[in-house]
Amino acid sequence: MKKFIAIIILLFLILPIAISCKEDYTCAVYFTGIGCPHCSNSDPVLLLDMPQEHKNLIVIEYEIYQQEKNSLLIDQYHSKYGSDIGIPLIIFNKNKHFIGDKEILQNIDNTIKDLDGNYCPLVDGSLVDFNDLDITSLPGKPNIWTNNKILIHSKTDNRIGNIDAIHVNLSGKHVKFDNAIKINNWIFQWNGDDIYIDLDNCSSCIITKQEIYNENKLKPNYKCSVNNENKLFKELLTTENVASVLSKIDLECIYCIETYDDEQKYQVCDEKFTPLKIATLAIVDAINPCAFAVLMLMLITIISYNPEKKSNILTSGLSFIWSIFIIYFFYGLLIIGVFQFIQESLLFIKPILYKILGIIAMILGFLNIKDFISNKKGGFLTEMPLSFRPKVKKIISGITSTKGAFIIGAFVTIFLLPCTIGPYFIAGGILSENALIDAIPWLLIYNFIFILPMLSIILIIYIGFKTMKNVSGWKNKNVKYFHLIAGLIMLCLGIVMFFELF
């Protein structure tokens, strides 16, 4: 009996100590806007200086000028916490909230000291201890700031691993961190030592996925994912040793499959990139009358120079097309690189990029339909400008050999760009969602589809199935229908992309 009493007494002595080990964090929600002059005074203090001075401070930032989803939240917080509507605005609870740079700067330091711990104010009016907060369930596009660290809600993709740190925009300045990692649709950045995330833990899935394919007749793929993202993010934000947490990252393998069974056993990947969209854009580009016209000029020149030597049609034609393929491939790499740079530099572009590409596709669709109705030459972004045509004809007239066809083919691509860049631009934007190495095969496929009609014309004329005059006449007679087909396809694709129908 005495032993039992002693144990009870010991538990009463230890329990308060154990409970006190749970860290108390001061958590607040901060609304700001890139370009707001008053925010430029409060942003550096709230997001940089205060977290360094108060190590337990957690600031959940919502930027409302460039993030549309965040702008909807400020009204909801106003109705739940009685705060004024405007920025900059910081909310601790229903009794503590400040608006305007002067009020914030005058009160922020003493408020944090007086509170000495504050639950996170959520949009539904509830207050939740940061230790119990589910970060992944926060609405909108938040940035979560602590001492020399930030967790950024980013675009959704399957990447997990080290990336180049991105600039974080504040009003009037930007912040650069030393290191960054991508964990699905979040980016964590910090200052201090770097660490490389080893993804070999997922290599065992390669064997497993083959077994699944054999047993269940599935078409499998896989991606790495993180077990308990929420726990990992809180550890990263609150730890002094980021490297230690990352070295123990718990990875799992999630299968992305197409199943032919009634029962769905594994997760299906939900990606905005689909091969069908890339192929559709390539087909629209391939039936562009602009490319046909340039090829016809080249073939007429070759035939006129040496009409009896039929092999010249094949060799020079293939050389000309091969040159276009290579140069356009490099143009594609450039487009993808530009899109990736923009997305990493301007975070507000990421969530709306797909809709922007959808709008561009719809505009190109309307322009092609307009050309079908008006049947005028030199349509904007749909055909080669009329001012370019004499120059192109003069350049092509100099082709007298296979080597010349290759060189001039490369040069002529510059004049082709105004009428073929539209679909290629959209495809590049879609492919930029992937790592460059993953985008290259689809870029090659796109360009192969693009040159297919030109290859077909070369072979038809070389074999003698049709004469140059027949093909040229058929093209001129049906050019407006090419515009109609391309217009309808681009319009439908744009609608699908804008509304994210698949």
pLDDT digits (tens, 9 = 90+) for 198-254: 554 454 443 343 444 444 443 444 455 666 777 888 888 888 777 777 766 666 555
pLDDT value of residue 72: 86
Domains, in order of start, for the chain: 23-147 (3.40.30.10), 194-258 (no CATH), 275-498 (no CATH)
pLDDT digits (tens, 9 = 90+) for 444-471: 999 999 889 888 888 887 887 666 566 5
- Predicted confidence band at 99 (pLDDT cuts at 50, 70, 90)? very high
Instruction: Check residues 429 and 387 and name the one with the higher pLDDT.
Output: 429
pLDDT value of residue 60: 96
pLDDT value of residue 251: 63
Residues near 303 by Cβ (< 8 Å), separated by ≥ 6? 312, 313, 468
- Distance of alpha carbon 223 from alpha carbon 231, whole angstroms: 20
Q: Which residues pair with 225 in a beta bridge?
A: 252
Choice among 152-166, 198-212, 311-325 with the minimum mean pLDDT: 198-212
**Pairing, β 57-63 against β 26-32:** parallel
pLDDT value of residue 24: 83
Q: Is the pLDDT reported for residue 313 higher than 90?
A: no
Overall pTM > 0.75: no
- Distance of alpha carbon 201 from alpha carbon 254, whole angstroms: 12
Burial of 35: CB neighbours in 10 Å, binned 0-12, 13-18, 19+: exposed
- Please give the structure tokens belonging to residue 240: 């002094």
pLDDT digits (tens, 9 = 90+) for 50-96: 999 999 999 999 998 888 788 889 989 999 999 888 899 999 999 99
pLDDT value of residue 184: 76
SS (H, E, C) 86-154: CCCEEECCCCCEEECHHHHHHHHHHHHHHHCCECEECCCCCEECHHHCCHHHCCCCCEEEECCEEEEEC
pLDDT digits (tens, 9 = 90+) for 113-123: 999 889 999 99
